[in-house]
A = this chain, B = another copy of it.
Amino acid sequence: MTDTAQGTSRRYGTRPTMKDVAARAGVGLKTVSRVVNGEPGVTPDTERRVQEAITALGFRRNDSARILRKGRTASIGLVLEDLADPFYGPLSRAVEEVARDHGALLINGSSAEDPDREQELVLALCARRVDGLVVIPAGDDHRYLEPEIAAGIATVFVDRPAGRIDADVVLSDSFGGAQEAVAHLIAHGHRRIGFIGDQPRIHTAKERLRGYRTAMAAAGLPVDESWVTLGSTAPEHVRAAATAMLDGPEPVTALFAGNNRVTVTAVRVLRERPRPVALVGFDDFELADLVRPAITVVAQDAARLGRTAAGLLFRRLDGIDEPPRRVEIPTRLIARGSGEIRP
Protein backbone atom coordinates (compact mmCIF):
# COMPACT_ATOMS: atom_id res chain seq x y z
CA MET A 1 0.00 0.00 0.00
CA THR A 2 2.86 2.32 0.76
CA ASP A 3 5.35 0.64 -1.53
CA THR A 4 6.36 3.81 -3.32
CA ALA A 5 9.66 2.45 -4.54
CA GLN A 6 8.99 -0.95 -5.92
CA GLY A 7 10.11 -3.24 -8.68
CA THR A 8 9.83 -0.76 -11.56
CA SER A 9 13.46 0.29 -11.80
CA ARG A 10 13.20 4.10 -11.88
CA ARG A 11 16.58 5.33 -12.93
CA TYR A 12 17.44 8.95 -12.26
CA GLY A 13 16.39 11.03 -15.23
CA THR A 14 13.82 8.54 -16.41
CA ARG A 15 10.23 9.56 -16.08
CA PRO A 16 7.26 7.30 -15.66
CA THR A 17 4.89 7.13 -18.61
CA MET A 18 1.20 6.45 -18.88
CA LYS A 19 2.12 2.84 -19.41
CA ASP A 20 3.78 2.73 -16.01
CA VAL A 21 0.82 4.41 -14.40
CA ALA A 22 -1.55 1.97 -16.09
CA ALA A 23 0.47 -1.00 -14.91
CA ARG A 24 0.55 0.24 -11.37
CA ALA A 25 -3.14 1.11 -11.27
CA GLY A 26 -4.01 -2.13 -12.98
CA VAL A 27 -5.91 -0.46 -15.81
CA GLY A 28 -5.44 0.08 -19.51
CA LEU A 29 -3.32 2.78 -21.08
CA LYS A 30 -6.25 4.66 -22.51
CA THR A 31 -7.97 4.83 -19.16
CA VAL A 32 -5.01 6.70 -17.76
CA SER A 33 -5.17 9.05 -20.71
CA ARG A 34 -8.82 9.65 -19.98
CA VAL A 35 -8.17 10.48 -16.36
CA VAL A 36 -5.26 12.76 -17.15
CA ASN A 37 -7.35 14.69 -19.66
CA GLY A 38 -10.51 14.73 -17.62
CA GLU A 39 -12.43 12.84 -20.28
CA PRO A 40 -15.72 11.24 -19.24
CA GLY A 41 -16.35 7.53 -19.04
CA VAL A 42 -14.32 6.54 -16.01
CA THR A 43 -15.89 5.35 -12.77
CA PRO A 44 -14.95 7.30 -9.65
CA ASP A 45 -13.28 4.24 -8.21
CA THR A 46 -11.06 3.66 -11.25
CA GLU A 47 -10.23 7.32 -11.40
CA ARG A 48 -9.12 7.27 -7.80
CA ARG A 49 -6.83 4.31 -8.38
CA VAL A 50 -5.28 6.04 -11.36
CA GLN A 51 -4.82 9.28 -9.46
CA GLU A 52 -3.05 7.42 -6.69
CA ALA A 53 -0.69 5.78 -9.14
CA ILE A 54 0.01 9.16 -10.75
CA THR A 55 0.89 10.71 -7.43
CA ALA A 56 2.96 7.78 -6.26
CA LEU A 57 5.04 7.69 -9.43
CA GLY A 58 5.28 11.45 -9.88
CA PHE A 59 3.89 11.14 -13.37
CA ARG A 60 3.54 14.20 -15.57
CA ARG A 61 2.21 14.02 -19.06
CA ASN A 62 4.82 14.44 -21.77
CA ASP A 63 3.55 17.32 -23.84
CA SER A 64 6.04 16.61 -26.60
CA ALA A 65 4.25 13.39 -27.37
CA ARG A 66 0.91 15.07 -26.99
CA ILE A 67 1.92 17.83 -29.37
CA LEU A 68 3.15 15.31 -31.90
CA ARG A 69 -0.12 13.49 -31.74
CA LYS A 70 -2.44 16.49 -31.73
CA GLY A 71 -0.63 18.74 -34.13
CA ARG A 72 -1.08 21.87 -32.06
CA THR A 73 1.59 23.07 -29.69
CA ALA A 74 -0.35 25.68 -27.73
CA SER A 75 2.64 27.94 -27.93
CA ILE A 76 3.44 31.05 -29.90
CA GLY A 77 6.74 32.65 -30.70
CA LEU A 78 7.75 36.26 -30.24
CA VAL A 79 10.80 37.60 -31.96
CA LEU A 80 11.85 41.10 -31.01
CA GLU A 81 14.92 43.21 -31.01
CA ASP A 82 15.99 43.22 -27.41
CA LEU A 83 14.06 42.09 -24.38
CA ALA A 84 16.16 44.40 -22.25
CA ASP A 85 14.86 47.47 -24.06
CA PRO A 86 12.22 49.18 -21.92
CA PHE A 87 10.00 49.51 -24.97
CA TYR A 88 9.82 45.77 -25.59
CA GLY A 89 9.35 44.55 -22.04
CA PRO A 90 5.75 45.74 -21.79
CA LEU A 91 5.06 44.64 -25.35
CA SER A 92 6.27 41.16 -24.60
CA ARG A 93 4.32 41.03 -21.40
CA ALA A 94 1.15 42.04 -23.20
CA VAL A 95 1.62 39.32 -25.79
CA GLU A 96 2.23 36.82 -23.03
CA GLU A 97 -0.94 37.85 -21.25
CA VAL A 98 -3.07 37.32 -24.34
CA ALA A 99 -1.36 34.00 -24.99
CA ARG A 100 -2.12 32.94 -21.46
CA ASP A 101 -5.78 33.77 -21.94
CA HIS A 102 -5.73 31.35 -24.85
CA GLY A 103 -3.86 28.70 -22.91
CA ALA A 104 -0.66 29.15 -24.86
CA LEU A 105 2.92 29.55 -23.78
CA LEU A 106 5.26 32.15 -25.15
CA ILE A 107 8.69 31.39 -26.56
CA ASN A 108 10.70 34.46 -27.23
CA GLY A 109 13.95 35.46 -28.73
CA SER A 110 15.94 38.59 -29.36
CA SER A 111 17.17 39.28 -32.85
CA ALA A 112 19.59 41.98 -31.71
CA GLU A 113 18.51 43.86 -34.83
CA ASP A 114 20.34 41.30 -36.95
CA PRO A 115 18.34 40.01 -39.95
CA ASP A 116 20.19 36.68 -40.06
CA ARG A 117 19.59 36.08 -36.42
CA GLU A 118 15.95 36.99 -36.88
CA GLN A 119 15.59 34.39 -39.61
CA GLU A 120 17.42 31.77 -37.63
CA LEU A 121 15.14 32.36 -34.65
CA VAL A 122 11.95 32.41 -36.66
CA LEU A 123 12.80 29.18 -38.44
CA ALA A 124 13.75 27.51 -35.17
CA LEU A 125 10.35 28.48 -33.85
CA CYS A 126 8.70 27.12 -36.96
CA ALA A 127 10.55 23.85 -36.52
CA ARG A 128 9.08 23.70 -33.05
CA ARG A 129 5.74 24.09 -34.75
CA VAL A 130 4.61 27.07 -32.75
CA ASP A 131 1.00 27.77 -33.64
CA GLY A 132 1.76 31.37 -34.47
CA LEU A 133 4.41 34.04 -34.58
CA VAL A 134 4.59 37.65 -33.53
CA VAL A 135 7.58 39.26 -35.17
CA ILE A 136 9.21 42.63 -34.81
CA PRO A 137 11.22 42.40 -37.97
CA ALA A 138 14.88 43.25 -38.12
CA GLY A 139 15.29 42.31 -41.77
CA ASP A 140 13.43 43.60 -44.76
CA ASP A 141 12.85 40.43 -46.72
CA HIS A 142 10.55 37.85 -45.21
CA ARG A 143 9.93 35.69 -48.22
CA TYR A 144 11.63 32.92 -46.30
CA LEU A 145 8.44 32.75 -44.25
CA GLU A 146 6.19 31.98 -47.19
CA PRO A 147 6.29 28.19 -46.94
CA GLU A 148 5.72 28.41 -43.21
CA ILE A 149 2.71 30.66 -43.55
CA ALA A 150 1.34 28.49 -46.32
CA ALA A 151 1.76 25.53 -43.99
CA GLY A 152 -0.46 27.24 -41.48
CA ILE A 153 1.77 29.13 -39.06
CA ALA A 154 -0.11 32.37 -38.46
CA THR A 155 2.16 35.39 -38.43
CA VAL A 156 1.66 38.96 -37.31
CA PHE A 157 4.26 41.68 -37.60
CA VAL A 158 4.51 44.47 -35.07
CA ASP A 159 6.12 47.87 -34.99
CA ARG A 160 7.42 47.51 -38.52
CA PRO A 161 5.86 45.98 -41.63
CA ALA A 162 6.98 42.71 -43.18
CA GLY A 163 9.31 42.87 -46.13
CA ARG A 164 8.18 41.58 -49.52
CA ILE A 165 5.32 39.48 -48.22
CA ASP A 166 1.75 40.30 -47.44
CA ALA A 167 0.95 39.76 -43.78
CA ASP A 168 -0.88 41.23 -40.82
CA VAL A 169 0.90 44.15 -39.26
CA VAL A 170 0.32 46.39 -36.26
CA LEU A 171 2.11 49.72 -36.29
CA SER A 172 2.37 52.90 -34.31
CA ASP A 173 1.61 56.01 -36.27
CA SER A 174 5.25 57.01 -36.55
CA PHE A 175 4.63 59.45 -39.34
CA GLY A 176 1.80 61.25 -37.61
CA GLY A 177 3.55 61.26 -34.26
CA ALA A 178 6.72 62.72 -35.71
CA GLN A 179 4.76 65.33 -37.60
CA GLU A 180 2.99 66.35 -34.43
CA ALA A 181 6.24 66.52 -32.47
CA VAL A 182 7.92 68.75 -35.00
CA ALA A 183 4.83 70.93 -35.42
CA HIS A 184 4.86 71.35 -31.66
CA LEU A 185 8.41 72.65 -31.76
CA ILE A 186 7.60 74.93 -34.67
CA ALA A 187 4.60 76.30 -32.80
CA HIS A 188 6.96 77.27 -30.03
CA GLY A 189 9.00 79.38 -32.34
CA HIS A 190 11.71 77.02 -33.58
CA ARG A 191 12.92 77.30 -37.14
CA ARG A 192 16.06 75.21 -37.06
CA ILE A 193 15.19 71.77 -35.75
CA GLY A 194 17.46 68.72 -35.75
CA PHE A 195 16.43 65.10 -36.14
CA ILE A 196 18.45 62.16 -34.85
CA GLY A 197 17.00 58.80 -35.78
CA ASP A 198 17.73 55.10 -35.95
CA GLN A 199 19.26 53.32 -38.94
CA PRO A 200 17.54 54.22 -42.18
CA ARG A 201 16.74 50.63 -43.10
CA ILE A 202 14.36 50.52 -40.12
CA HIS A 203 10.85 51.39 -41.15
CA THR A 204 9.97 53.48 -38.13
CA ALA A 205 13.12 55.55 -38.58
CA LYS A 206 12.13 56.33 -42.16
CA GLU A 207 8.57 57.16 -41.21
CA ARG A 208 9.65 59.49 -38.44
CA LEU A 209 12.02 61.23 -40.79
CA ARG A 210 9.20 61.60 -43.27
CA GLY A 211 7.02 63.10 -40.56
CA TYR A 212 9.78 65.52 -39.69
CA ARG A 213 10.22 66.63 -43.28
CA THR A 214 6.51 66.94 -43.86
CA ALA A 215 6.03 69.12 -40.80
CA MET A 216 8.94 71.32 -41.76
CA ALA A 217 7.65 71.66 -45.30
CA ALA A 218 4.14 72.38 -44.10
CA ALA A 219 5.53 75.30 -42.14
CA GLY A 220 7.52 76.46 -45.12
CA LEU A 221 10.82 75.83 -43.34
CA PRO A 222 13.92 74.70 -45.17
CA VAL A 223 15.83 71.70 -43.87
CA ASP A 224 19.59 71.93 -43.81
CA GLU A 225 20.92 68.42 -44.36
CA SER A 226 23.35 68.84 -41.48
CA TRP A 227 20.32 68.80 -39.21
CA VAL A 228 19.41 65.23 -40.04
CA THR A 229 21.26 62.12 -38.88
CA LEU A 230 20.13 58.55 -39.22
CA GLY A 231 22.29 55.74 -37.91
CA SER A 232 23.37 53.85 -34.86
CA THR A 233 21.72 54.86 -31.62
CA ALA A 234 24.82 54.09 -29.60
CA PRO A 235 25.45 56.91 -27.12
CA GLU A 236 28.74 58.08 -28.60
CA HIS A 237 27.22 58.27 -32.03
CA VAL A 238 24.20 60.23 -30.88
CA ARG A 239 26.40 62.49 -28.83
CA ALA A 240 28.57 63.31 -31.83
CA ALA A 241 25.53 63.96 -34.00
CA ALA A 242 23.88 66.23 -31.48
CA THR A 243 27.06 68.16 -30.86
CA ALA A 244 27.59 68.72 -34.57
CA MET A 245 24.08 70.07 -35.00
CA LEU A 246 24.34 72.37 -32.02
CA ASP A 247 27.73 73.75 -32.93
CA GLY A 248 27.40 73.79 -36.72
CA PRO A 249 27.24 76.82 -38.94
CA GLU A 250 23.45 76.74 -38.78
CA PRO A 251 22.98 75.65 -35.17
CA VAL A 252 19.66 74.06 -34.33
CA THR A 253 17.61 75.43 -31.45
CA ALA A 254 15.59 72.28 -30.95
CA LEU A 255 16.06 68.53 -31.29
CA PHE A 256 13.65 65.79 -32.22
CA ALA A 257 14.93 62.43 -30.97
CA GLY A 258 13.81 59.41 -32.97
CA ASN A 259 13.48 56.88 -30.16
CA ASN A 260 13.96 56.35 -26.45
CA ARG A 261 17.67 55.54 -26.63
CA VAL A 262 18.37 58.68 -28.61
CA THR A 263 16.30 60.77 -26.22
CA VAL A 264 18.22 59.61 -23.19
CA THR A 265 21.55 60.47 -24.71
CA ALA A 266 20.19 63.77 -25.97
CA VAL A 267 19.10 64.70 -22.48
CA ARG A 268 22.60 64.07 -21.23
CA VAL A 269 24.16 66.15 -23.98
CA LEU A 270 21.77 69.06 -23.54
CA ARG A 271 22.31 68.97 -19.81
CA GLU A 272 25.92 70.01 -20.38
CA ARG A 273 24.98 72.97 -22.54
CA PRO A 274 24.86 76.51 -21.20
CA ARG A 275 21.72 77.54 -23.05
CA PRO A 276 18.53 75.52 -22.97
CA VAL A 277 17.68 73.61 -26.13
CA ALA A 278 14.19 72.33 -26.80
CA LEU A 279 13.73 68.57 -27.09
CA VAL A 280 10.94 66.22 -28.02
CA GLY A 281 11.52 62.49 -27.92
CA PHE A 282 9.74 59.64 -29.60
CA ASP A 283 8.70 57.01 -27.00
CA ASP A 284 7.71 57.82 -23.47
CA PHE A 285 9.83 56.52 -20.60
CA GLU A 286 9.60 56.27 -16.88
CA LEU A 287 10.72 59.39 -15.06
CA ALA A 288 10.45 61.56 -18.14
CA ASP A 289 8.38 63.86 -15.96
CA LEU A 290 10.98 64.05 -13.21
CA VAL A 291 13.95 65.20 -15.25
CA ARG A 292 14.30 68.99 -15.36
CA PRO A 293 13.12 70.21 -17.71
CA ALA A 294 10.60 67.39 -17.92
CA ILE A 295 10.80 65.70 -21.29
CA THR A 296 8.07 66.23 -23.84
CA VAL A 297 7.49 63.02 -25.75
CA VAL A 298 5.45 61.30 -28.39
CA ALA A 299 4.19 58.30 -26.48
CA GLN A 300 3.46 54.98 -28.10
CA ASP A 301 1.47 52.39 -26.26
CA ALA A 302 3.76 49.36 -26.35
CA ALA A 303 1.38 47.18 -24.38
CA ARG A 304 -1.44 48.01 -26.74
CA LEU A 305 0.72 47.17 -29.73
CA GLY A 306 1.43 43.78 -28.20
CA ARG A 307 -2.16 43.14 -27.20
CA THR A 308 -3.46 44.08 -30.60
CA ALA A 309 -0.95 41.93 -32.42
CA ALA A 310 -1.59 38.92 -30.23
CA GLY A 311 -5.32 39.43 -30.57
CA LEU A 312 -5.01 39.44 -34.34
CA LEU A 313 -2.87 36.31 -34.16
CA PHE A 314 -5.40 34.36 -32.14
CA ARG A 315 -8.18 35.49 -34.44
CA ARG A 316 -6.26 33.79 -37.21
CA LEU A 317 -5.66 30.73 -35.10
CA ASP A 318 -9.35 30.55 -34.37
CA GLY A 319 -9.78 30.12 -38.07
CA ILE A 320 -10.94 33.55 -39.09
CA ASP A 321 -9.84 33.89 -42.65
CA GLU A 322 -9.59 37.37 -44.06
CA PRO A 323 -7.06 39.33 -46.09
CA PRO A 324 -4.02 40.62 -44.19
CA ARG A 325 -4.79 43.65 -42.10
CA ARG A 326 -2.81 46.72 -41.27
CA VAL A 327 -3.67 48.25 -37.92
CA GLU A 328 -2.29 51.60 -36.89
CA ILE A 329 -2.16 52.62 -33.25
CA PRO A 330 -2.25 56.37 -32.65
CA THR A 331 0.49 58.11 -30.71
CA ARG A 332 0.02 60.81 -28.16
CA LEU A 333 2.05 63.95 -27.63
CA ILE A 334 2.72 64.55 -23.95
CA ALA A 335 3.91 68.11 -23.38
CA ARG A 336 6.04 68.31 -20.29
CA GLY A 337 8.28 71.29 -20.74
CA SER A 338 11.34 70.34 -22.77
CA GLY A 339 9.45 70.90 -26.00
CA GLU A 340 8.09 74.23 -24.89
CA ILE A 341 11.44 75.96 -24.49
CA ARG A 342 11.56 78.97 -26.82
CA PRO A 343 14.55 79.54 -29.06
Contacts and interface: CB of A to CB of B under 8 A. Distances in A.
Interface of A: 12-15, 58, 60-65, 67-68, 73, 75, 82-86, 88-90, 92-93, 96-97, 100, 105-110, 123-129, 147-148, 150-152, 264, 267-268, 271, 285-287, 290-292, 303
B73 A64 contact: yes
Contact of A93 (B82, B147, B286): B82
30 contacts: A13-B151, A14-B151, A58-B147, A58-B148, A58-B150, A60-B151, A62-B129, A63-B129, A64-B67, A64-B128, A83-B83, A83-B93, A85-B89, A88-B89, A96-B108, A96-B109, A96-B110, A105-B107, A105-B109, A105-B124, A105-B125, A106-B107, A107-B107, A107-B108, A108-B108, A268-B290, A271-B290, A286-B287, A290-B291, A291-B292
Contacts of A86: 86, 89, 286
Contacts of A64: 64, 67-68, 73, 128-129
Q: Which of A82, A88, A110, A151 has the most CB of B within 10 A?
A: A151
A86 B264 CA distance: 15
Given A60-B151, A86-B89, A93-B110, 20 more contacts: A12-B150, A12-B152, A15-B152, A58-B151, A61-B127, A64-B128, A65-B68, A75-B107, A84-B303, A85-B89, A97-B110, A100-B109, A105-B109, A105-B128, A106-B107, A107-B107, A108-B108, A285-B287, A287-B290, A290-B291
A89 B96 contact: no
A293 B127 CA distance: 52
The 6 closest A-B pairs by CB, nearest first: A58-B147, A13-B152, A84-B93, A84-B90, A89-B89, A63-B127
A89 B286 CA distance: 14
Nearest to A268: B290
Nearest to A16: B151
A312 B319 CA distance: 43
A276 to B, nearest CB: 14
Nearest to A105: B107
A100 B120 CA distance: 11
Contact of A92 (B61, B68, B83): B83
The residue in A68, A126, A285 that gathers the most chain B C-beta atoms within 10 A of its C-beta is: A68
A80 B143 CA distance: 35
A81 to B, nearest CB: 11
Nearest to A90: B84
Contacts of A126: 60
Contacts of A268: 290
Interface centre among A83, A96, A267 (most CB of B within 10 A): A83
A129 B165 CA distance: 35
